[in-house]
């Protein structure tokens, strides 16, 4: 049973709104100052980018934890429970600690402007990590970088995964604009690792790094990863070390890039500190130990075997492209039912063009968040490129149940289009398991 104080706390947090975005750092700076700057009490890694932030952050945190460091990780959004956002050594923050952190942060929120949802939750994570005396914290940005609430920190390493156009009202309309915003997390003399590949993006990041005296390390140029010929393992060629025969912790070939970024960031951390602390001795055994502990739900997550049910947020165009390729490569001759719901700030027609070709049945649904596209609107676009008739089932859990009831054991179901859809679907499976 949910404690009343915890439930009331979440109600207050959610009333702040999902997209109350303010492009300044004064408000969170004031809150953290009144809390005695908790973010200065531990080492941090800062992760920004368009896709792969959470996967990369999780791999970094898992390896640090395997080395014996008490390690926090802050990610967003959550899939099922709010507590997923703030974890220490793989354990979610407790309900009681959510209440405690919220009370402390809310009391400090007395500036000229009241804090947004993301500012409050970010401050809660910093406060909780300090209270629990973590040694390292891996912090994922929310939307951008330069004015993201997390950018109040000075990390030991910065990571920028990749770039594709998103949130144009806030981040600009070009890759160069986007690189400026994401590159805003680069701090003076703090090394950066990145998988950005577009020339205009790299040019911008290179200039920012140079101006701030920060070393910039690039995927495929300074470090890389390749699949072991004839084996399901990977060989990493790093900044200081090489690892052969690593087992990738998450499905999908695109995860090679995220894994490589995580390993490069970890290399920099361990190289900097290996002379002062014996725990900073990086070995393949340690790396694999950390990777074996990685858990990142809702991203190519296999929920059932018969029928095969795959859960993937695929919340933007690039993620949809990757998911489409994965389905084509792995499903063979299985008949696919696509359960899909998309948010209204996404290029939904382009996303549909990547996911529909492999589907034999399409069920359109809608996450409870108010930014969801109406199923009728989505269905109208689907009819333009899908030969069959899409079915509309507004409730995500009902849509998933229906898809399973209409599928044979040899069929496949993919639930995608939004992390919020993925979260509601996962909640259904979790409840089914409990019951």
Which CATH superfamily includes the segment(s) 4-292? Mur-like, catalytic domain (3.40.1190.10)
Of residues 90 and 23, the one with the higher pLDDT is 90
* pLDDT at residue 19, rounded to an integer: 46
pLDDT surpasses 70 at 212 = yes
Question: Hey, which bits of 220-289 come out as E strands?
Answer: 224-227, 234-237, 242-246
Other beta carbons within 10 angstroms of residue 212's beta carbon come to: 15
DSSP state of 245: E
Q: How does pLDDT run across 337-387, given as a tens digit for each residue?
A: 999 999 998 999 999 999 999 999 999 999 998 889 999 999 999 999 998
Residue 33, classed as helix, strand or coil, is helix
3-state DSSP of 302-367: EEEECCEEEECCCCCHHHHHHHHHHHHHHCCCCCEEEEECCECCCCHHHHHHHHHHHCCEEEECCC
Question: Distance (Å, rounded) from C-alpha 223 to C-alpha 217?
Answer: 8
Q: How does pLDDT run across 149-189, given as a tens digit for each residue?
A: 999 999 999 999 998 876 655 566 799 999 999 999 999 99
Question: Distance (Å, rounded) from C-alpha 138 to C-alpha 261?
Answer: 13
pTM of the entire predicted model:
0.93
Instruction: Looking at the structure, give the CATH architecture of the domain made up of residues 301-434.
Output: Alpha-Beta Complex (3.90)
Please, are residues 133 and 71 in contact by the beta-carbon 8 Å criterion? no
* pLDDT at residue 166, rounded to an integer: 67
| Domain range list for the chain | 4-292, 301-434
Question: Which tokens hold the place of 229?
Answer: 């010929």
């Amino acid at each position: 049973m949910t404690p009343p104080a915890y439930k009331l706390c979440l109600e207050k947090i959610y009333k702040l709104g999902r997209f109350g975005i303010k492009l300044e750092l004064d408000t969170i700076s004031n809150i953290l100052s009144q809390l005695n700057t908790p973010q200065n009490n531990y080492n941090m890694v800062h992760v920004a980018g368009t896709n792969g932030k959470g996967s990369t952050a999780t791999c970094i945190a898992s390896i640090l934890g395997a080395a014996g460091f008490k390690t926090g990780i802050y990610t967003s959004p959550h899939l099922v429970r709010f507590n997923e956002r703030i974890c220490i050594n793989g354990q979610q923050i407790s309900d009681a600690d959510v209440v405690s952190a919220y009370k402390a942060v809310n009391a400090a929120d007395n500036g000229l402007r009241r804090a947004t949802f993301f500012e409050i939750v970010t401050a809660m994570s910093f406060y909780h990590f300090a209270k629990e005396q973590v040694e390292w914290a891996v912090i994922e940005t929310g939307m951008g970088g330069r004015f993201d609430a997390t950018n109040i920190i000075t990390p030991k390493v910065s990571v920028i995964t990749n770039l594709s156009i998103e949130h144009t009202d806030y981040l600009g309309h070009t890759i160069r604009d986007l690189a400026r915003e994401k590159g805003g997390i680069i701090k003076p003399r703090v090394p950066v690792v990145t998988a950005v590949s577009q020339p205009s993006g790299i040019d911008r990041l290179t200039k920012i790094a140079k101006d701030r005296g920060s070393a910039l390390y690039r995927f495929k140029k300074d470090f890389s990863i390749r699949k072991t010929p004839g084996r399901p393992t990977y060989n990493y060629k790093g900044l200081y070390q090489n690892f052969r025969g690593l087992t990738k912790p998450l499905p999908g070939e695109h995860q090679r890039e995220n894994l490589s970024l995580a390993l490069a960031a970890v290399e920099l951390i361990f190289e900097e500190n290996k002379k002062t602390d014996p725990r900073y001795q990086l070995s393949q055994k340690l790396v694999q130990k950390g990777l074996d502990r990685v858990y990142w739900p809702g991203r190519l997550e296999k929920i059932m075997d018969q029928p095969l049910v795959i859960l993937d947020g695929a919340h933007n165009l690039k993620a949809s492209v990757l998911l489409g390729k994965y389905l084509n490569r792995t499903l063979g001759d299985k008949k696919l039912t696509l359960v899909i719901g998309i948010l209204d700030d996404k290029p939904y027609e382009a996303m549909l063009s990547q996911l529909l070709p492999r589907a034999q049945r399409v069920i359109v649904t809608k996450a409870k968040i108010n930014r969801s596209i109406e199923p009728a609107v989505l269905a109208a676009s689907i009819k333009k490129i899908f030969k069959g008739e899409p079915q509309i089932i507004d409730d995500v859990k009902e849509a998933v149940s229906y898809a399973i009831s209409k599928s044979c054991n040899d069929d496949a179901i993919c639930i995608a289009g939004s992390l919020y859809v993925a979260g509601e679907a996962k909640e259904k499976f979790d409840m089914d398991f409990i019951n």
